[in-house]
Amino acid sequence: MKKLKYLVILFAAILLLPLAVKAEGEEVTSEQVTSEEEAAASDVDTRVPVYFFRGEGCPHCEEAENWFNSIQEEFGAYFKIVDYETWYNEDNAALMQKVAKARGEEAEGVPYIIIGDKSWNGFDEDSYADEIKSQITTVYAQDLDARYDIMKYLDNSKTNKKTTDKGSSDAVALLIILLVCGGIGFGVYRARQTAK
């Protein structure tokens, strides 16, 4: 009979363990969430990201960089350069290829410039300057939530993968708990059979 009591206590402890672990998390009140959201909203950068994949020493990249610097006074409040050097940084080179693939295009070289849903390979001030300025102001005029941002798209695909992986881990944990509970049930059954 003592074995049965211990098995029941062990069974109850195993069933309550996930609840106890979950209870250890920090409780967040609605007041905390509201003040955190307000703080985040006030710190939001509304400028349009200009993704600038370049190569150190590339003359066309230098021309593009100088041009972006020259329009800072007039358009600087509307855009920010997000710089990726690709010739000496393999991670940035791989990112450029991943971004191009996600956009359904080839990154044929540098500079590779992306603003919203448009991109430019290479740089020629006479050909691209007006298009780029127009794209910056067009994207800036859009609601923040409506703006297309390739990097957010890539980040979301990573997040979705992590969520799926977490779901798999939860399923394995549940399976283990069920096996342990089944083992305990079998142990209780065997203990009763032996006691008779």
Q: What is the 3-state secondary structure (H, E, C) of the chain?
A: CHHHHHHHHHHHHHHHHHHHHHHCCCCCCHHHHHHHHHHHHHCCCCCEEEEEEECCCCHHHHHHHHHHHHCHHHHCCCEEEEEEECCCCHHHHHHHHHHHHHHCCCCCCCCEEEECCEEEECCCHHHHHHHHHHHHHHHHHCCHHHCCCHHHHHHHHHHHHHHHHHHHHHHHHHHHHHHHHHHHHHHHHHHHHHHC
Spell out the domain ranges in the chain.
44-148
From first to last of its 196 residues, the chain has per-residue pLDDT tens of 566 666 566 666 666 555 544 444 444 444 544 545 554 555 788 999 999 999 999 999 999 999 999 999 999 999 999 999 999 999 999 999 999 999 999 988 999 999 999 999 999 989 999 999 999 999 999 999 899 999 888 866 544 444 444 555 666 676 677 777 677 877 777 777 777 6
Q: For the whole prediction, is pTM greater than 0.75?
A: no
What is the pLDDT at residue 44? 85
CATH superfamily of the 44-148 domain: Glutaredoxin (3.40.30.10)
Strands 118-121 and 48-54, by their bridges, are unpaired
